[in-house]
Structure 1
Amino acid sequence: MQTSRLLLPGLIEACHAVIVANADHLGALDRAIGDGDHGTNMKRGSEAVYAERDQLGGLPLPEAMERIGMLLVATIGGAAGPLYGTLLIEMGRRLRAGEVDVPLTETLPPAVEAVARRGRSQAGDKTLLDVLYAVQRAVLKRSPPAEVAVSATVAAQDTIAMKALRGRASFLGDRSIGHMDPGACSCALLTGSICRFLEEFPSA
Structure 2
Amino acid sequence: MTEAMITKDKVLQWISALQSAYSENKAYLTQLDSAIGDADHGINMDRGFTTVKVDLEKTLPQDIGAILKTVAMTLIRTVGGASGPLYGTFFLRASTICPSKTEIGAAEVVQIFEAGLEGIIQRGKARLEDKTMVDALTPAVNAMKQALQQGNDLGTILQKGADAAEQGMKATIPLQARKGRASYLGERSIGHQDPGATSAYFLVKTAADTLGKF
Aligned alpha-carbon RMSD (Å):
2.3
Where does structure 1 lack aligned partners over 5 or more consecutive residues? none
Match of 1:163 among 176, 197, 202: 176
TM-superposed deviation, 1:3: 4.0
Per the alignment, residue 33 of structure 1 pairs with 36
1:105–1:140 contact (8 Å) kept in structure 2: yes
TM-superposed deviation, 1:47: 0.3
Q: Distance in 1 between matches of 2:22 and 2:48?
A: 10
1:6 maps onto 2:9 in alignment: yes
TM-superposed deviation, 1:56: 5.7
Q: Distance in 2 between matches of 1:140 and 1:56?
A: 33
Per the alignment, residue 68 of structure 2 pairs with 65
2:177–2:189 contact (8 Å) kept in structure 1: yes
TM-superposed deviation, 1:141: 1.0
1:93 maps onto 2:89 in alignment: no
1:140 maps onto 2:145 in alignment: yes
1:126 maps onto 2:139 in alignment: no
Match of 1:174 among 187, 199, 208: 187
Number of matched residues? 201
Q: Distance in 2 between matches of 1:109 and 1:13?
A: 21
* Partner SS for 1:124: coil
* Partner SS for 1:12: helix
1:7–1:57 contact (8 Å) kept in structure 2: no
- Give the stretch that moved more between structures: 88-97 or 65-74: 88-97
| Structure 1 residue ranges (4+ consecutive) displaced by more than 4 angstroms after TM superposition | 97-102
Q: Label 1:24 to 1:134 Cα distance change in 2 as closer, same or farther (>3 A).
A: same
TM-score normalised per structure 1: 0.90
Identity fraction in percent:
31
Per the alignment, residue 153 of structure 2 pairs with none
TM-superposed deviation, 1:131: 0.9
1:8–1:57 contact (8 Å) kept in structure 2: no
Q: Which amino acid aligns with 2:181?
A: R
- Give the stretch that moved more between structures: 171-180 or 48-57: 48-57
Where does structure 2 lack aligned partners over 5 or more consecutive residues? 149-155
Q: Distance in 2 between matches of 1:100 and 1:21?
A: 29
TM-score normalised per structure 2: 0.86
1 or 2, which has the higher helix percentage?
1
